[in-house]
Amino acid sequence: MNVLVTRPEADAEQLVRELHARGHTPVLAPMFTIRQRTHTAPDLTGVQALLFTSANGVRAFAALAARRDLPAFAVGEATAETARAHGFARVLVGGGDAHTLAASVREQLSPEHGALCHAAGTVTRGGLAETLTAAGFTVHREALYEAVPVDELPAGAHAALARDTLDAVLFFSPRSADTFVSVVRAASLDAACERLHAVCLSPAVAERATAVSWAGVQVAARPDRTALLGALAAVSGGGEPAPPREADRHA
């Protein structure tokens, strides 16, 4: 299958490799440009642990701060792998969303031992800080990067849609689905989606994607990349694939 990948390039690298391994042809169409917002390291005085809800948060933090001694709570395995690659020795992994990440923090930390630093973007979802604050924690949210939506499709993606050479589009977030809908409408290519399948990480993502019509909409059984690839396999008639040697979860 020819599969449109809407993730930012740095986040899409492993996904692209796995698509190739499964015999698919990925077409990159990042819906966001990731930009660092500050050149000042977060103040970690009194902080007992770090919270990462995306690999971009890890990269932004690592570019600013040298400390790697604090426990790093990662929303999913993809974010955890990025944290390990940037030198964090103690990485604890949530279940792929803000709810399970908050539960992991509550199980393993106590509010009286210090604050939490959430290395985030300018837009967050899932209510992580609110949930932990309600549990008695102090959460310092640091908006270290911003994901700026694109205003047009890349040339390759535009051509693939216009020529009807795509089979499916992968969506990882409601914002990426919103941006895709906006740019395909701007290019007068929304009708091309009627011949494609939207493969979505969660029901919330699917809800946004269905602002345009599709040949079908598949939702991953869990909010992680392996399950998303399983949903793609269902579209192609291959059923659930065997998980890759190192399963990579995402939020």
Instruction: Report the CATH number at residue 73.
Output: 3.40.50.10090
Domain range for 198 is 2-32+150-236
For residue 241, being part of any structural domain is answered with no
What are the φ and ψ backbone dihedral angles of 22, each rounded to 5 degrees?
Answer: -90, 5
Question: What is the reported pLDDT for 238?
Answer: 56
Question: What is the reported pLDDT for 82?
Answer: 94
For residue 67, being part of any structural domain is answered with yes
In the chain, what is the straight-line distance between the N-terminal and C-terminal CA atoms, in Å? 24
Does 69 have pLDDT greater than 50? yes
- Global confidence as pTM: 0.81
Q: Which of the listed residues 111, 146, 181 is the one where a domain comes to its end?
A: 146
Q: Say if residue 210 is exposed, middle or buried (CB neighbours under 10 Å; 0-12, 13-18, 19+).
A: middle
Question: What is the reported pLDDT for 112?
Answer: 97
Q: Check residues 249 and 158 and name the one with the higher pLDDT.
A: 158
Q: Are residues 131 and 158 in the same domain?
A: no
Q: Are residues 116 and 160 in the same domain?
A: no
Mean pLDDT of 198-203: 95
Q: Say if residue 112 is exposed, middle or buried (CB neighbours under 10 Å; 0-12, 13-18, 19+).
A: exposed
For residue 38, being part of any structural domain is answered with no
Q: Are residues 187 and 200 in the same domain?
A: yes
Q: Answer whether 191's CB lies under 8 Å from 157's CB.
A: no
Q: Which of the listed residues 93, 124, 146 is the one where a domain comes to its end?
A: 146
The CA distance from 249 to 226, in Å, is 7
| 242 — pLDDT class (breaks 50, 70, 90) | very low
For residue 244, being part of any structural domain is answered with no
Mean pLDDT of 113-117: 98
Mean pLDDT of 60-89: 95
Q: Are residues 124 and 172 in the same domain?
A: no
Q: What is the pLDDT of the chain when averaged over all its residues?
A: 91
The CA distance from 136 to 139, in Å, is 9
Does 246 have pLDDT greater than 80? no
Q: Which of the listed residues 146, 170, 191 is the one where a domain comes to its end?
A: 146
Q: Are residues 106 and 177 in the same domain?
A: no
Does 196 have pLDDT greater than 50? yes
Q: ∠59-74-124 over CA atoms, to 5°?
A: 75
Q: Are residues 155 and 134 in the same domain?
A: no
Q: Answer whether 52's CB lies under 8 Å from 83's CB.
A: yes
Number of structural domains in the chain: 2
For residue 61, being part of any structural domain is answered with yes
Q: What is the dihedral of CA 151, 153, 155, 161, to 10 degrees?
A: -150
Question: What is the reported pLDDT for 114?
Answer: 97
For residue 243, being part of any structural domain is answered with no
